[in-house]
């Protein structure tokens, strides 16, 4: 459903959306309930329990298509690899493959998920700054499409594994381009002082290229950089491209047959009104334009452009439903409302001071009347999901919908305080499908073993 359709649906019912912005197929039904994918979220909460992650399947697909359309309108050769770390499950891997994406995995567990989902191994790229011997063995024997090599030790290990299995492995070299992305310090990765990639300033990247050049089992197809996450403009990407073209040229001079420049993910999304990311289309056009400029100026063929969006695909499509429980009012200080989840399913406030918007799913048309701190149920004060949420007066049992929680929420969920992980449903055309089942208390102790016997 388009944005116009969403707005008109709200208009037709005479119900105005609250301040929180509705995205994708979200609409407010005549009874004032929030609907996603044609499903009444209060029913979803009743049927599947809370906390519950609800993904708008059409919005996931539409966002991926926006990336494809943006590239296709430029005519540039490209590849979109969804970064599975944002949200990885069997169904999600299948969806991104159906939508013509490759898949980036960052661990043996993500690779196992993708292969269990039935993905063609050739679609998969493996990332990581400390891939284990077991992970490299698994990647090579599975015949995955490419390994993004991060450091010298990995280079040697991968060479040994590939030679032992008599395989030639396509690799990209990850470099740290020395670019500071304008984002939270913890999720900025392109700067020189970073644990990721070969340093470019000190000649490590060039040395890595020389070593690959003499390797019979590794075939370097390109360079990779990922400068950070939740980035709002293209300045950092274009700066990275401008810095990498020299290295790319030197690689060609060494005799390597590179054909790919991968500039990673990082495209920011709107969590609150404070966030104003450039549209995907504009970012892709600027990136392609810069690639064409800098490569043709040097008389080089423009490489295939690879991007690795995670958050921008999964984030806006996800909503978390919680049931509201207790409240604590401290007049003149702060009002708290507690939910049946918290930092266990959304650690992003605790980690980055992240901000979110929310609304009451069962009273979605009501205007906010006050400021509430939405706290979780864990045993620490930092267990907050939204510091100052504008909400109507909430009551015990109301359903809170926290918006744009599709990326780095379920994937970073923990069992802290032995809380089971929530279920995940995909919704579309009035139907809900459980794609990750809710854990039970029995699941929480499943890996435990008794002291004796």
Ligand X SMILES: Cc1ncc(COP(=O)(O)O)c(C=O)c1O
State the binding site. Answer: 266, 308-311, 348, 352, 380, 408
For ligand X, which residue of 62, 229, 238, 346 counts as binding (CB under 6 A)? 229
Instruction: Spot the catalytic one: 88, 93, 220, 379.
Output: 379
User: Residue 421: CB partners within 8 Å, gap ≥ 6?
Assistant: 344, 345, 410, 413, 415, 436, 438, 439
Q: Around Cβ 321, how many Cβ atoms within 10 Å?
A: 29
348 binds, among ligand LYS, ligand X, none (CB under 5 to 8 A by kind): ligand LYS
Report DSSP state, residue 182: S
The Cα-based distances of 190 to 167, 181, 287, 418, 433 in angstroms read: 31, 7, 16, 36, 38
- For residues 174 and 421, which CB has a smaller minimum distance to ligand X in the complex? 174
The H-or-E segment that residue 434 falls in is strand 431-436
Tell me: does residue 265 bind ligand X (CB under 6 A): yes
Tell me: does residue 33 bind ligand LYS (CB under 6 A): no
CB of 444 to ligand LYS, least distance (A): 23
- For residues 28 and 314, which CB has a smaller minimum distance to ligand X in the complex? 314
Tell me: does residue 35 bind ligand LYS (CB under 6 A): no
Letters for 272-311 (x = contact with ligand X by CB under 6 A, - = none) are ------------------------------------xxxx
- For residues 108 and 310, which CB has a smaller minimum distance to ligand X in the complex? 310
Segment 82 to 121, residues that bind ligand LYS, using CB under 6 A: 85
Instruction: Give the residue numbers of the binding site for pyridoxal 5'-phosphate.
Output: 266, 308-311, 408
Q: Is 184 helix (H, G, I), strand (E, B) or coil?
A: coil
- β-pair partners for 222: 172, 260
| Catalytic-residue membership of 379 | yes
- For residues 336 and 352, which CB has a smaller minimum distance to ligand LYS in the complex? 352
Tell me: does residue 348 bind ligand LYS (CB under 6 A): yes
The H-or-E segment that residue 428 falls in is strand 423-428
The tokens of 423 are what? 């279920």
The Cα-based distances of 430 to 64, 84, 225, 439 in angstroms read: 21, 26, 40, 25
For ligand LYS, which residue of 63, 217, 229, 362 counts as binding (CB under 6 A)? 229
Nearest position to ligand LYS, beta carbon: 408
- For residues 126 and 427, which CB has a smaller minimum distance to ligand X in the complex? 126
The H-or-E segment that residue 370 falls in is strand 370-375
Q: How far apart are CA 114 and CA 96, in angstroms?
A: 10
340 binds, among ligand X, ligand LYS, none (CB under 5 to 8 A by kind): none
Tell me: does residue 187 bind ligand LYS (CB under 6 A): yes
Contact present, 42 and 36 (Cβ < 8 Å): no
Residues contacting ligand LYS: total by CB under 6 A: 7
The Cα-based distances of 120 to 101, 144, 209 in angstroms read: 11, 8, 28
Letters for 394-413 (x = contact with ligand X by CB under 6 A, - = none) are -------------x------
- Cα–Cα nearest to 127, from 187, 85, 157: 85
Tell me: does residue 71 bind ligand X (CB under 6 A): no
Contact present, 391 and 43 (Cβ < 8 Å): no
CB of 228 to ligand X, least distance (A): 7
The tokens of 143 are what? 């015949």
Segment 305 to 324, residues that bind ligand X, using CB under 6 A: 308-312
Q: How far apart are CA 196 and CA 236, in angstroms?
A: 17
Segment 395 to 414, residues that bind ligand LYS, using CB under 6 A: 408, 412
Q: How far apart are CA 311 and CA 266, in angstroms?
A: 7
Tell me: does residue 125 bind ligand X (CB under 6 A): no
Residues at the interface with ligand LYS (CB under 6 A):
85, 187, 229-230, 348, 408, 412
Residues at the interface with ligand X (CB under 6 A):
83, 85-86, 104, 127, 226, 229, 264-267, 308-312, 407
Please identify every residue annotated as catalytic.
379
């Amino acid at each position: 459903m388009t944005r116009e359709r969403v707005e008109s649906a709200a208009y037709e019912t005479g119900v105005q959306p609250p301040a929180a912005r509705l995205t994708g197929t979200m609409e407010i039904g005549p009874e004032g309930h929030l609907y996603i994918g044609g499903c009444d979220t209060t029913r979803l909460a009743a049927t599947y329990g809370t906390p519950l992650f609800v993904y708008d399947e059409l919005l996931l697909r539409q966002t991926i298509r926006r990336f494809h359309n943006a590239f296709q309108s430029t005519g540039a050769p490209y590849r979109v690899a969804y970064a599975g770390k944002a949200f990885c499950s069997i169904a999600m891997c299948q969806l991104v493959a159906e939508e013509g994406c490759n898949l980036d995995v960052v661990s043996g567990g993500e690779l196992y998920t993708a292969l269990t989902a039935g993905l063609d191994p050739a679609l998969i790229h493996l990332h990581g700054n400390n891939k284990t011997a077991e992970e490299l063995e698994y990647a090579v024997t599975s015949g995955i499409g490419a390994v993004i090599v991060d450091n010298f030790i990995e280079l040697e290990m991968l060479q040994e594994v590939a030679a032992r299995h008599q395989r030639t492995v396509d690799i990209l070299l990850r470099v740290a381009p020395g670019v500071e992305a304008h984002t939270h310090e913890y999720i900025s990765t392109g700067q020189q002082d970073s644990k990721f990639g070969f340093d470019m300033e000190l000649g490590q990247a060039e040395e890595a290229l020389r070593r690959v050049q003499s390797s019979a089992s590794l075939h370097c197809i390109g360079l990779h950089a990922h400068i950070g996450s939740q980035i709002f403009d293209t300045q950092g990407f274009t700066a990275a491209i401008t810095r990498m073209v020299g290295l790319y040229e030197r690689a060609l001079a060494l005799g390597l047959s590179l054909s790919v420049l991968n500039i990673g993910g990082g495209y920011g999304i709107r969590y609150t009104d404070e966030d104003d990311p450039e549209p995907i289309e504009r970012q892709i056009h600027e990136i392609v334009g810069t690639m064409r400029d800098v490569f043709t100026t040097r008389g080089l063929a423009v490489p295939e452009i690879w991007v690795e969006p995670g958050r921008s695909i999964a984030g806006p499509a996800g909503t978390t439903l919680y049931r509201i429980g207790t409240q604590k009012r401290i007049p003149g200080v702060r009002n708290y409302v507690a939910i049946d989840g918290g930092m266990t399913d959304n650690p992003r406030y605790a980690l980055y001071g992240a901000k979110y918007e929310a609304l009451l799913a069962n009273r979605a048309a009501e205007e906010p009347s006050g400021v509430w701190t939405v706290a979780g149920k864990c045993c620490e004060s930092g267990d907050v999901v939204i510091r100052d949420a504008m909400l109507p007066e909430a009551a015990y049992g109301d359903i809170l919908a926290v918006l744009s929680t599709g990326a780095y929420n379920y994937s970073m969920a923990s069992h802290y305080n032995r809380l089971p992980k929530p279920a995940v449903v995909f919704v579309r055309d009035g139907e809900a499908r459980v794609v990750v089942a809710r854990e039970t208390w029995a699941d929480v102790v499943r890996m435990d073993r008794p002291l004796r016997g």
